[in-house]
Amino acid sequence: MRLGFPVSVLGRAGLRSHDSRRWQNNPHLSISLAYLRDVFLYLESQQITMYRLSSNLAPYLTHPELPRFHGQIQECGAELETVGKLARRLGLRLSFHAPAYALLNAPDPHRLRQSQATLAGLTAILDGMGLGPDAVIVVHVGGHYHQRAAALTAFMRGFETLPAAVQRRLVLEHDDRRFGVADVAWLHERTGVRLAFDFLHHQLYNPDDIPTEEALAICLASWPPDQTPKIHFSTPATEMVQDRKGVPHPPRLNRHSHYINPFEFIAFLRSLPRIRDFDIMLEAKARDLALLQLRRHLARYAPDLAQKLG
């Protein structure tokens, strides 16, 4: 069982997740891959073996008005292969989370084509690295557009139009206010798309009253037996926030905390029956610092779980 974190490294100054320059400065995938090699070596030094790549790794890759960026993956074939070999040597499990605008149920045909192109680009990066089926791209169902049943059907049709190589990379995640575990399970039954369980989302949106252990089991069962499922775990922010006038407000519970509440994490794992192994992406604002802190807490409060999590 691995622990991972997304994109930004906070534990070592100067590490960048991708080339974030604006298009006027000609950013490029080759620069992002150079940054990524340094990130991988940092992960090795901290014994972290799971990491979410930035979805902007290839800047402006599919931008319809900037065609000069469209050939980055072909231009970086050797670099992608080299970085992929390094990831495999270090035993890293890599993934993407598709950007919010990538919606397979978008009613606008132009937006749907852009979404499909974005997912194809992310797939090409993972394929170029030579990564196995555990390297996935997480997507959401999308909007419900005031017609939930039609929105689910639209996702199914959008998924079916994707090339097989892209379909094999996708993992579908339920969300915190529109589509729950039962909805994504319905889509899995009709498309075969694998499912990612999200602990906080399920606490916030569970209209079918599915117990957490059962919801997790539904998602894990969607993965082939020779692949390791991944789940997302986060705890909600609880700190007071202030508006522009300085008036205090409670936080929104769908906002991730900076660090993981260790007791909630321990209780979750201890509540599970004997179940297949899975990897855990920690979605906390402190990123790698949150992962390292959780390790220290587990060593103190749950050494048996600390050993299981390496």
Can you tell me the distance from the alpha carbon of 47 to that of 23, in angstroms, rounded to the nearest whole number?
A: 35
Token pair of 273, please? 């029956």
DSSP states of 188-209: HHHH--EEE-BHHHHHH--TT-
186 versus 251: which is more confidently predicted?
186
pLDDT in tens, 168-222: 999 999 999 999 999 999 999 999 999 999 999 999 999 999 999 999 999 999 9
Predicted local confidence at residue 231, as pLDDT: 98
Token pair of 199, please? 């602990």
Q: What are phi and psi of 299, to 5 degrees?
A: -60, -30
Residue 144 has pLDDT above 90, yes or no: no
Predicted local confidence at residue 251, as pLDDT: 87
CA distances from 262 to 86, 151, 171, 251, 300 (A): 32, 37, 27, 20, 10
Residue 310 has pLDDT above 80, yes or no: no
Predicted local confidence at residue 299, as pLDDT: 96
Q: Do residues 234 and 284 lie in contact, with contact meaning Cβ atoms separated by under 8 Å?
A: yes
- Mean pLDDT along residues 117-126: 98
DSSP states of 107-121: SSHHHHHHHHHHHHH
> Residue 227 belongs to what domain range?
3-308
Which secondary-structure segment (H or E) carries 136?
Answer: strand 136-140
pLDDT in tens, 255-308: 899 999 999 999 999 999 888 999 999 999 999 999 999 999 999 999 999 988
Match 């991972």 to its residue by tokens.
4
How much is the pTM?
0.95
Predicted local confidence at residue 145, as pLDDT: 85
Exposure class string for 236-253: b at 16+ Cβ within 10 A, else e? bbeeeeeeeeeeeeeeee
Query: Looking only at Cα atoms, what is the longest distance across the chain?
Result: 54
Exposure class string for 117-155: b at 16+ Cβ within 10 A, else e? bbbbbbbbbbbbbebeebbbbbbbbbbbeeeeeebbebb
**Contact partners, residue 25, CB within 8 Å, separation at least 6:** none
Residue 41 has pLDDT above 80, yes or no: yes
CA distance from start to end of the chain: 8
In the chain, how many domains are there? 1
Predicted local confidence at residue 267, as pLDDT: 96
Predicted local confidence at residue 273, as pLDDT: 86
Mean pLDDT, rounded, of the chain: 96
pLDDT in tens, 42-81: 999 999 999 999 999 999 999 999 999 999 999 999 999 9
Predicted local confidence at residue 146, as pLDDT: 83
The CATH number given to whatever domain includes residue 264 is 3.20.20.150
**Contact partners, residue 281, CB within 8 Å, separation at least 6:** 4, 5, 6, 50, 52, 95, 230, 231, 232, 233
